[in-house]
Amino acid sequence: GNVLMWIRNKDFRAFERASQAAKSMGTHVIALHVISPGDYKSHGRGARRIDFMMRNVKELRSELKEKNIPLVVRTITPRKTVPKEIISFCDEFNITKIYANIEYEVDELRRDAVVVHLARESGKAAFFVHDCIIVPPGMLLTKEGKPYSVYGPWFKKWVETVNENDNLLETSEDPEANDESVRKDKSLHSLFEEEIPSEVEGYECADAEKMAQLWPAGYHSARESLGRFLEGKKGKEADDIFQSSKVKEKKAAVENYPEGRNRPDVDGTSRLSPYLAAGVISPREVVQKARKMNKGSISQGGKENGFSNWISEVAWRDFYAHVIVAWPRVVMGRAYNLAMESVCWEYEEDQVKAWKEGNTGYPIVDAAMRQMRETGFMHNRCRMITAMFLVKDLMVDWKNEVGEAYFMQHLMDADFASNNGGWQWSASTGTDPQPYFRIFNPFSQSEKSAQSYSDPDGAYIKRWVPELKSLSGKALHDPFHKLDKASFKKLGYPEPIVDHNEARKRALRRFKTPGEK
C-alpha cells in the first residue's frame, strides 16, 4: 500500500522523521494537508497565520513535487469528521500507513486517538512521531518522577539530555524520494495537477501583501533569517522595519544577543518564531547550527554567550509544550495556578479598545501594540510589558477574548503553548511565573528594564508612535507627567488611561487575596 504524510499545522517542511520512515517502507508517499475551519475557529486562529500557512503549503508543494511526492489539500468540515475523512482518503488512494507529527493540544490528541482507532479497524496503521520540539514531552522528569514546573532545573536536565542523546538534534535530509513511478500511476498522477486553494473562506488576510514581504514563506526564507541572525548575512529590505535605532557596527545579531534580546529598538533577535511555529524550519536544525558555531557547546554553565543564551530561549518552546502536556487544563482555558483563578477582574470597554489600538497613553505599550498590528510581530520584552499592563494595570482577565486571544489573532508566530505560557507568566498564574508583586512600571520599563535599557533613546517609541517624534529624554517615555499641560496637549497623544500607581496597588491587593475586591 501507499503511505500518507499528513502535514498538519506545525510541519510545513518536508519533515524528516515521518518522511524518512515513510520512505523506508518502499512505497509511494502522498502528502495531505487538511484545511479545517472548525479547528481554526475553536483555536482562535487569525487570518494572517492562516494566510502564512497557505503560502507555505504552496512552497512545500513545489518542493515535494521535485521529489515526486504529490501534496494535496482537502477542506474538511465539521471538524469532528476529520478522522473519518482521512480514512476515506486513504481508502481512495490505497494508503495503508499514516504518518504524522504529534500536535500536543487536547483536541488534536483526541482527534489522533480516533484516527489510530479507525485506522486499526480498517486494517491500516497510524504512526505519530515527535518532530515539532526537540525533547519529547515526558522525557524530562524530576527525581520524584514528576514533570518540572520550574524552568531552571528543567533546562539543566534538557541540556544534559540533549548532550547525552545525539539523535535528538539529528536532522536528516528529507528523503530523495524521486519515485518516478508515482507519476506513471494513473490514479496518483492526477494529484499533481489538482488546484489548491490560496486562501480559506472567512480568513481572507487584509494585509496579505505586506505580510508576504515581511514574512516570505518557505524553508529558504527561514534559512535566510537564520543566516542573518547567526552569521550576519544581509537580510531583505523589508527587515528595516524592525531596526529603529542606528547600528554602529555590522556584526551577527547573535553576538549581541544577551543585550539585543532586551532591546526592541534593535533587530537583535532571530525573528524565526513564525517559521518555528509553523514548522517551516526544524528547531533541531537551528539549535544544531548554533551549537556547532559555539564550538559544540549548548550551555556554558553559567557563563552565557550569545549562542548559548539563544539556545536557552529556543528551549522555552520545548518547555511550554511540555507544560501543556503535563497540565492539559491550561489548554482548556484554565490557569496553571488554580488559586489565582478567582482574582477579581475588571472590564472597561474603552480601556480594552485603547490597549488593542495602542492608545493607552503609555508610550512603550502603545509602540508595541502598534508594532504587532502593523507587522504581525512584537518583541519579547514588549509582549511581557503589554501583557502585564492588560492584566495588572487594567485588571482584565487575559483568558477571555481580549488578551491571549488578541495575540493569537495578530501574531504571525501565534502558537498556543508559547502564547499561553507567555500570558500565564505575565499574569503570575503560570508554572514559573513572574511573582505577582513584581509589577512592571511601563514608564520606566522602556527606559530601563531589569537587565539593561530597553529603548534607551526612545527610537522604538518614535518609530511606532509618531505623535512623540519631537520628544527626547524622559518626556519620550512619560510625556504626560514630564511635559507641561500645554505642550502635552499639542502632541495629540492620549493621557494615560489609568494611573499606574493606583492600578498597581489594586493589583497587589487583588492578587494577594484572590476573590477579594
How far, in Å, are 228, 283, 285 from residue 233 at the CA level? 4, 20, 18
The verdict on whether residue 40 carries a ligand-binding annotation is no
Identify whether 165 is a catalytic site residue: no
Q: In whole angstroms, what is the distance from residue 513 CA to residue 516 CA? A: 6
Among 163, 305, 380, 441, which one carries the catalytic annotation?
A: 380
> Among residues 154, 316, 355, 425, which one is catalytic?
316
- Min dist. Cβ of residue 326 to ligand FAD (A): 16
Complex with ligand FAD: residue 68 or 424, whichever CB lies closer = 424
Residue 379, CB-side half-sphere exposure with 13 Å CA sphere: 30
Exactly one of 204, 313, 357, 502 is catalytic; name it. Answer: 313
Which DSSP state fits 465? -
**Nearest distance from C-beta of residue 274 to ligand FAD, angstroms:** 8
Please say if 345 is a catalytic residue.
Answer: yes
| β-strand partners of 128 | 100
From the list 6, 355, 423, 464, the catalytic residue is 423
Which residue number, 63 or 415, has a Cβ lying nearer to ligand FAD?
415
Q: Give 201's DSSP letter.
A: T
* 36 marked ligand binding residue: no
Phi, psi of 365 (to 5 degrees): -65, -45
Residue 84 CB, shortest distance to ligand FAD, in Å, is: 31
Instruction: Tell me how far, at minimum, the Cβ of 476 lies from ligand FAD, in Å.
Output: 23
Check whether 317 is labelled as a binding-site residue.
yes
Residue 327 assigned to a binding site: no
Of 261 and 392, nearer to ligand FAD (C-beta) is: 261
Asked whether residue 511 is marked as a ligand-binding residue, the answer is: no
If the CB atoms of residues 316 and 443 are measured against ligand FAD, the closer one turns out to be 316
Active-site annotation holder among 345, 348, 400, 467: 345
Give the SS3 label for residue 409: helix
The nearest distance, CB 327 to ligand FAD, in angstroms, is 16
How far apart CA 32 and CA 296 sit, in angstroms, is 37
Is 467 annotated as catalytic? no
For residue 345, how many other CB atoms are within 10 A of its CB? 14
CA 451 centroid distance within chain: 24
Q: Of 2 and 360, which CB lies nearer to ligand FAD in the complex structure?
A: 360
Chain mean position to CA 315: 13
Q: In terms of CB distance, is 89 or 377 closer to ligand FAD?
A: 377
CB distance 133 to 105 below 8 Å: no
310 is in an annotated binding site: yes
Cell of 178: 524521486
Active-site residue 423, yes or no? Answer: yes
CB contact at 8 A, 403 and 409: no
- Look at residues 214, 278, 245, 261 and name the one whose alpha carbon lies nearest to residue 59: 278
Range list of β-strands (E), 10-168: 29-35, 71-75, 95-101, 125-129
Catalytic-residue membership of 419: no
Q: Is 415 annotated as a binding residue?
A: yes
The nearest distance, CB 278 to ligand FAD, in angstroms, is: 10
**Minimal distance in Å, beta carbon 307 to ligand FAD?**
12
Least CB distance to ligand FAD at residue 263 (A): 11
Residue 142 assigned to a binding site: no
**Residue 239, marked binder:** no
Q: What is the chain's percent helix, strand, coil content, to nearest 5?
A: 55, 5, 40
Closer residue to ligand FAD, CB minimum distance, 343 or 408: 408
Judge whether 140 is annotated as a binding position: no
Q: Which is nearer to ligand FAD, 363 or 403 (CB)?
A: 403
Distances (CA, A) of 55 to 48, 188, 195, 227, 431: 11, 23, 14, 21, 35
**Cell numbers at 262, concatenated:** 532586551
What is the C-alpha end-to-end distance of the chain, expressed in Å? 64
Coil vs helix vs strand at 399: coil
Using only C-alpha atoms, the chain has a radius of gyration, in whole angstroms, of 24
Residues that bind ligand FAD (CB under 6 A): 261, 269-273, 276-277, 313-314, 316-317, 320, 380, 383-384, 387, 407, 411, 413-415, 418-419, 421-423, 426
Short-list 411, 441, 495, 513, CA closest to 51: 411
Alpha helices by DSSP H, 411-512 = 416-426, 442-447, 459-464, 473-477, 479-482, 485-491, 500-512
Of the pair 177, 382, the CB lying nearest ligand FAD is at 382
Query: In this chain, which residue has its C-beta nearest to ligand FAD?
Result: 422
- Site of grid cell 523506508: 24
CB of 454 to ligand FAD, least distance (A): 14
Q: Per the omega criterion (within 30 degrees of 0), is the bond before 435 cis?
A: no
- The catalytically annotated residue of 6, 154, 355, 398 is 398
171 annotated to bind ligand:
no
Please state the residue numbers annotated as binding site for FAD.
257, 269-273, 310, 313-320, 413-415
Which residues are catalytic, by number?
A: 313, 316, 345, 380, 398, 423
Please state the residue numbers annotated as binding site.
257, 269-273, 310, 313-320, 413-415
